[in-house]
Amino acid sequence: MNYMHYTILGTEIDKKNTSICIKHSNTLAYTPAYTFFIKEIANLIDNKHGHPYTSWDDDECEIIWAEIDNDVVAILCYSTAYKNYQMPFLAIQLTAVKEQFRSRGIHTILNKYFEQRARELECLAIRATVHVTNTVRLESTKKDKLTPLLTMMYKKL
């Protein structure tokens, strides 16, 4: 398959002393990480941590991913739709690490590159929307130093 252009951002070493290649594309579609993204969205829906609809625009989403031996092991996908707002920010759409690669610091590495990208785009903040039942992600937001801004409540009619 022909993939769109992507950039190698750097090489990092995880907690198991494994070399990780960090890559970036300024569009989600046609990247080597796209199927990983779709599978993780499906997992969120199946586990009741997400809603069964698409809420992203492939062309307004950028993605940073980690590869080990040319295998995508983690992603951090975010929307750039808000970068021109009065208070510009980037919004995380999905962050995920393959189960066998968790607890190795890979998410933290991706988050570092994500925050660097936000600064490059002159954003003042980053945002993550997390489903209330996704306790694992809610916990990991603390490592990312994200704090709640508001809680949305709703009633299904």
- Tokens found for residue 129: 């929307």
- 3-class SS string, the chain: CCCCCCEEEEEEECCCCCEEEEEEECCCCCCCCHHHHHHHHHHHHHCCCCCCCCCCCHHHEEEEEEEECCEEEEEEEEECCCCCCCCCEEEEEEEEECHHHCCCCHHHHHHHHHHHHHHHCCCCEEEECCCCCCHHHHHHHHHCCCCCCCCCCCCCC
Per-residue confidence (pLDDT) for residue 1, from 0 to 100: 54
Task: Name the residue ranges covered by the structural domains of the chain.
Answer: 7-143
Q: Is the pLDDT of residue 102 over 90?
A: yes
Per-residue confidence (pLDDT) for residue 141, from 0 to 100: 83
Q: Is the pLDDT of residue 76 over 70?
A: yes
Percent of the chain at pLDDT exceeding 70? 97
Q: Is the pTM of this model over 0.75?
A: yes
pLDDT-derived band at 10, boundaries 50, 70, 90: very high
Per-residue confidence (pLDDT) for residue 2, from 0 to 100: 59
pLDDT-derived band at 53, boundaries 50, 70, 90: low
Span 89-102, average pLDDT:
94
Per-residue confidence (pLDDT) for residue 139, from 0 to 100: 83
Pick from 16, 143, 24: nearest CA to 78? 24
8 Å CB contact between 76 and 66: no
Which range is least confidently modeled, 6-15, 50-59, 119-128?
50-59
Q: Is the pLDDT of residue 66 over 70?
A: yes
- Per CATH, domain 7-143 is 3.40.630.30: yes
**β-pairing, 61-68 with 71-79?**
antiparallel
